[in-house]
Amino acid sequence: MQTTEIKTTLLKSYEYPNGAWVLVRVRTASGIEGIGGCFVPDRNGKGVLAAGDP
């Protein structure tokens, strides 16, 4: 299975100004698509910047 596309989207959090929800969409060459997500409660913002494009 070959991955053809990975996209990330960041959704900011009011409780953690430097944290965010990170949504990830992955697509394969055979047309399979998956979506996942996690919350990064980062106090300094470094983890969120590593996870996706702000």
Condensed to tens digits (0 to 9), the pLDDT of residues 18-34 reads 778 889 999 999 999 99
Calculate the average pLDDT of the chain.
Answer: 81
Residue 52 domain-assigned (yes or no): no
Tokens of 23: 């949504």
Residue 34 domain-assigned (yes or no): yes
pLDDT at 34: 96
Sheet holding 20-28, edge to edge: 3-12, 20-28, 33-40
Q: How many domains is the chain built from?
A: 1
Residue 23 domain-assigned (yes or no): yes
pLDDT (mean) for 9-20: 79
Residue 47 domain-assigned (yes or no): no
Residue 37 domain-assigned (yes or no): yes
Domain extent for 19 = 3-42
Residue 48 domain-assigned (yes or no): no
Residue 53 domain-assigned (yes or no): no
Contact between 38 and 22 under an 8 Å Cβ cutoff? The reply is yes
> How sure is the predictor about 54, in pLDDT bands with cuts at 50, 70 and 90?
very low
Residue 50 domain-assigned (yes or no): no
